[in-house]
Amino acid sequence: MATRRRVLVTGASKGIGRATLARLREDGYEAIGLARTRPADLADDPAFHCCDLNDLAQTRALVSGLAAQGPFYALVNNAAMAPTTSLDDASLTDMDDAMRVNVNAALVCAQALLPGMRAQGAGRIVNLSSRAALGKVNRTAYSASKAAVIGMSRTWALELAASGITVNVIAPGPIATELFRTASPPDDPKTRALMAAVPVQRVGAPEEIAHAIAFLLDERSGFMTGQTLHIDGGLTVSAVRV
């Protein structure tokens, strides 16, 4: 890579975000991490910033400040929260919280970085959705917000194509992250049924999602926009629905 292009990764303290931060740095990007908490091994990392994405004003101020230091080539909106309530128990607070982090924070980050991308005439936005966007038991708020990410991204792709900016979505299935383990305890019958239904017979690794993100950021991926990649071990093509 001729120059160190700047990339912002949200939710970069663990799981998919942490794996993505590491992969993009290995690939030569100036990858900047953003998360609510700082990992102990990144205590002295000047390119990691703490920010609660529930606080949209704080998020906008921090990301705008980073953009003022120089344009960004790419944005990976990975930060998420996942209420695990049934339809009967889902609250408006669940809905508001999921939309604020999973959708609205992504919007705020994109708006802050778009001027720099437009000025460069090139950019990449990758938004993380989920297989749950197709429907999942006890995920009313999460599924709704992750479906919204897909619709929002398709609209952005149309609006930004002429500026040389692509927008794509990755919708992971079961990935071995802290969020997945919290939402899907291994001893839960629903989790066991899910694992049995995965055609490749295993849970995915965060590094596998990071690899797909790196592909979408590559210069040679510029003809792909408005698409959703389901990386779920074959669940979306399986006859089993759990």
pLDDT tens per residue, range 198-225? 999 889 999 999 999 999 999 999 999 9
Give, for 230, the enclosing helix (H) or strand (E): strand 228-231
CA atoms within 13 A on the CB side of 133: 24
Tell me: pLDDT of 6 over 70: yes
| Residue 104 lies inside a defined structural domain of this protein | yes
Strand partners of residue 76: 9, 126
pLDDT over 90 percentage in the chain: 83
The total number of structural domains in the chain stands at 1
Average pLDDT over residues 37-57: 95
Could you say which DSSP state residue 184 is in? S
Q: Give a yes or no: residue 117 inside a domain.
A: yes
Query: Catalytic site residues?
Result: 142
How much is the average pLDDT of 153-180?
A: 95
99 domain-assigned:
yes
Domain that holds residue 102: 6-237
Q: Supply the CATH number for residue 179's domain.
A: 3.40.50.720
Residues 6 or more apart whose CB falls under 8 angstroms from that of 171 comprise: 128, 129, 130, 131, 133, 146, 150, 228, 229, 230, 231, 232
Whether 55 is in a domain gets the answer: yes
Residue 172 included in any domain:
yes
